[in-house]
Amino acid sequence: MSNIQVTLPNGDVRKYAEGVTPLDIAQEISSGLARNVLAAEVNGEIRDAMRPLSSDTDLKLLTWNDRGGKSTMWHSSAHLMAEALEILYPGIKFGIGPDIDNGFYYDVDFGDHQFSADDLEKVEQKMLELARQKQEYHRKSISKEEALKYYTAKGDEYKVELISELEDGTISFYETGHFTDLCRGPHIPNTGFIKAIKLTAVAGAYWRGDEKRKQLTRIYGITFPKKKELDQYLEMLEEAKKRDHRKLGKELGLFTFSEKVGSGLPLWLPKGAELRERLESFLKKAQKKSGYVPVISPHIGQKELYITSGHYAKYGEDSFQPIHTPHEGEEFLLKPMNCPHHCEIFKSSPKSYKDLPLRLAEFGTVYRYEQSGELHGLTRVRGFTQDDAHLFCTNDQLKDEFKKVIELVLHIFKVLDFHDFTAQISLRDPDDPDKYIGSDENWSKAEKAIIEATEEMKMKTVIVYGEAAFYGPKLDFMVHDAIGREWQLGTIQVDYNLPDRFELEYTGADNKKHRPVMIHRAPFGSMERFVAVLTEHCAGRFPLWLTPEQVAILPISDKFNDHASELSYLLENYDLRALVDDRSEKIGRKIRDNEMSKIPYMLILGEQEVKKGLVSVRKHGEGDLGSMKVEDFVSLINKEIEDLLRP
């Protein structure tokens, strides 16, 4: 038997006999490690820890602390669930059962049986029972014909379909207990690693994501190696529920919806509207510094406008239907985008290269007929306001302009404390060229500009194919919210196509006509979505400069109500937002209520304070800060705001 060389991540090189398994190696390092090894990364590929090594390898042992370890465990959990389901519901058919970011799911065809959320507990119990048996996951390879025969006999047309599409040759199967599944693997050594199980949801899902095909029952779940970790996970879900912007929006009086107004059409309440206005003026100020100029365009435009832009051909069917003028029968559309209007603004007068870059900014409200099932709080609505701008520039200016926009977006994220985000370069889907308009040459130029700009700014990016807009590639900023979900917020797009379609031109230094390039950009994305994500991000405790009410003045008793009103006028003169809680309640009650409504500061006003001309200050979440002069309190607050706005 020949020797093989195994290199561990710390650079350690060890020699073993061929056929050694990663699990053996773990055992040699320490039995504690061996008990925790879920899988192994062999030359970069994740494999079963019990699969023998046959040549020299770079080896990394994966535990629960590694993403690969978690994925393997969850994937194995999907098998465990399938086994439990097959025992409980004989004759059911299986689609696919992968691991996902937070757990796993399996798509199942229950036939005539109606599986409901009430049945989940029963399945969990069965899974725990099977897990305790420490069933091993056995890998075996069989031929394609054999595999087809197996599933044809079993009557599982989904697996038959999957296998038929595989390349000829051997196919790997995994066997756990009495359950056998077509599977590439890898898997954990045995089901005993799965100590805590929670099946989280039941939902319909189309077979292979195709809405024309049968809908299967998808069961979601998550598992952990320790009961404690499951508890923590459930706590995190609770926390996410508390942070849900739909709940907080209601509680804080930010926005509402009305059946009568229509679904997906948010109504901003005074506090929400003021908060949004503050965000808008914050951005306007930053934009003014960066040379943007404001424009305003109407909510509708002639259908012809969107035929020119290409939006009508692409989205006309899925939009609100055209509005007709009563006599002439002209057709107008609710605007789904601001860019066509801005192109017309560009065209309103002849442009010289000296006019460029021209940066037209507008908080433009647009309307899109989103599918009813897609609507969700403020994050997905049918009428929303984009913090839109279109930058028209020369080819030479493009990269610099693009970089300046990135700087602006990063500045905004910094001020609003979004540190956890991904910059995603969204390119064309190479397999579906018909989805896009414009020439290959234009697309390549645009893609190159984005990639070079991000490289020059040394940004960490991920490239995702198929996520581009139909007219051009994008740089999207995805931030993470309380539940770890990703939301797309800001977006920057390079566009050579609309300038072509609108035949935009400027006169160059050479006295010839040239076509400008366009950058679409929206740092917030939409005001609605941004406020939603921000609300969840800060759990309703908005930064001091944004929050609807900054200070609550709490008189100790009714006797001091007048003093309290005077103080509130005084604070208003200092440009602070204050309210007076003049209810005939005890101070403890007032503190509790204002604490719960997340007011950043409380000022307590009683005999002592009035006598000495002081205020007693309480900070949300921190408590008593002692008493101070009003002027000192005002500078305290202003300092905090200043620090927040200049991170």
Three-class HEC string of 570-629: HHHHCCCCEEECCCCCCHHHHHHHHHHCCCCEEEEECHHHHHHCCEEEEECCCEEEEEEC
Residues between 441 and 480 that touch RNA (CB under 7 A) = 469-470
Instruction: Work out how close the CB of 263 gets to RNA at its nearest, in angstroms, rounded to a whole number.
Output: 3
Tell me if 636 contacts RNA by CB under 7 A: no
DSSP class of 559:
G
C-alpha Rg value of the chain to the nearest Å? 30
Token pair for 411: 């500045």
Q: Which of 41, 124, 549, 609 binds RNA (CB under 7 A)?
A: 609
- Residue 321 makes contact with RNA by CB under 7 A: no
Could you tell me the strand order of the sheet in which 383-393 lies?
Answer: 293-294, 358-367, 383-393, 517-522, 486-495, 474-480, 421-427, 461-465
Distance between CA atoms of 486 and 102, rounded to whole angstroms? Answer: 13
Active site residue 386: yes
For RNA, the binding residue among 35, 138, 198, 250 (CB under 7 A) is 250
Separation of alpha carbons 410 and 403, rounded Å: 11
Per CB under 7 A, the list member of 88, 237, 587, 628 interacting with RNA is: 587
Catalytic one of 218, 243, 245, 520:
520
Out of 159, 187, 314, 341, the residue judged to bind RNA by CB under 7 A: 314
User: Is residue 538 flagged as an active site residue?
Assistant: no
> Whose Cβ is closer to RNA: residue 61's or residue 615's?
615
Between 187 and 618, CB nearer to RNA: 618
Residue 93 binding RNA, by CB under 7 A: no
Choice between 33 and 269, CB closer to RNA: 269
Q: Tell me if residue 318 is catalytic.
A: no
Q: Give the 3-state secondary structure of residue 152.
A: helix
Task: Indicate if 520 belongs to the active site.
Answer: yes
CB-based burial label for 13 (10 Å; 0-12, 13-18, 19+): exposed
Q: How far apart are CA 298 and CA 296, in angstroms?
A: 7
Nearer to RNA, 196 or 615 (CB): 615
Q: Is the distance from CB of 487 to CB of 530 less than 8 angstroms?
A: no
Taking the C-alpha atoms of residue 556 and residue 212, their distance in angstroms, rounded to an integer, is 66
Is the Cβ–Cβ distance between 460 and 421 less than 8 Å?
no
Which residue number, 485 or 577, has a Cβ lying nearer to RNA?
A: 485
Encoded amino acid at 51, one letter: R
390 carries an active-site annotation: yes
- Among 203, 293, 323, 462, the residue binding RNA under the rule CB under 7 A is 203
**Residue 201 interacts with RNA (CB under 7 A)?**
yes
Could you tell me the CA-to-CA distances from 71 to 61, 100, 183, 186, 407 in Å, in that order?
A: 14, 7, 14, 9, 36
Phi, psi values for residue 6, rounded to 5°: -115, 125
124-153 residues near RNA, rule: CB under 7 A? none
Task: Please state, in angstroms and rounded to a whole number, the distance separating the CA atoms of residues 8 and 268.
Answer: 57
Q: Is 537 in the site for RNA (CB under 7 A)?
A: no
423 contacts RNA (rule: CB under 7 A): no
98 touches RNA (CB under 7 A): no
Q: Which is nearer to RNA, 613 or 621 (CB)?
A: 621
Q: Quick check: 356 and 512 in contact, CB under 8 A?
A: no
Q: Which of 585, 640, 641, 644 binds RNA (CB under 7 A)?
A: 585
Count residues binding RNA (CB under 7 A). 66
- Least CB distance to RNA at residue 19 (A): 41
Binding flag, residue 215, RNA (CB under 7 A): yes
- Examine the residue annotation and report whether 245 is marked as an active-site residue of this protein: no
Pick one of 14, 139, 246, 480: the residue that binds RNA (CB under 7 A).
246
> Running DSSP on this structure, what letter comes out for residue 472?
B
By CB under 7 A, the residues from 351 to 370 that bind RNA are 368-370
Query: What kind and span of H or E run contains 299?
Result: none
CB of 592 to RNA, least distance (A): 3
Under DSSP, is residue 137 helix (H, G, I), strand (E, B) or coil?
strand
User: Which segment (28-36, 88-96, 204-212, 397-405) binds RNA by CB under 7 A?
Assistant: 204-212
- Point out the catalytic residue in the list 70, 245, 339, 550: 339
Active-site residue among 99, 388, 476, 481?
388
Pairing mode of beta strands 45-47, 601-605: unpaired
User: If binding is defined by CB under 7 A, does position 315 make contact with RNA?
Assistant: yes
Q: From CA 491, how far away is CA 523, in angstroms rounded?
A: 6
Any contact of residue 632 with RNA (CB under 7 A)?
no
Distances (CA, A) of 585 to 74, 248, 560: 53, 25, 13
Min separation Cβ 615 and RNA, Å: 9
Q: Report if residue 595 touches RNA, rule: CB under 7 A.
A: yes
Q: Which stretch binds RNA (CB under 7 A): 152-160, 189-197, 210-218, 224-232?
A: 210-218
Q: How far is the CB of 642 from RNA (least distance, A)?
A: 26
Cβ 409 to RNA shortest distance, Å: 16
Pick from 376, 480, 563, 577: which binds RNA (CB under 7 A)? Answer: 376
291 is an interface residue for RNA by CB under 7 A:
no
One-letter amino acid at 18 equals E
Among 589, 629, 631, 632, binds RNA (CB under 7 A): 589
- Whichever of 59 and 591 has its CB closer to RNA, that residue is 591
Q: Which long-range contacts (CB under 8 A, 24 or more apart) does 262-265 make?
A: 262/382, 263/372, 263/375, 263/382, 264/370, 264/375, 264/380, 264/381, 264/382, 264/383, 265/381, 265/382, 265/383
Q: Which of 386, 397, 424, 488 is labelled catalytic?
A: 386
How far apart (Å, rounded) are the C-alpha atoms in residues 136 and 289?
64
In the annotation, is 138 catalytic? no
Q: Contact positions toward RNA, by CB under 7 A?
A: 116, 201-206, 209, 211, 215, 218, 246-247, 250, 257, 259, 262-264, 311, 314-315, 318-319, 336-337, 339, 368-377, 380, 469-470, 556-559, 583-589, 591-592, 595-596, 604, 606-609, 616, 618, 621, 623-624, 627
Residues annotated as catalytic are: 339, 368, 386, 388, 390, 474, 520
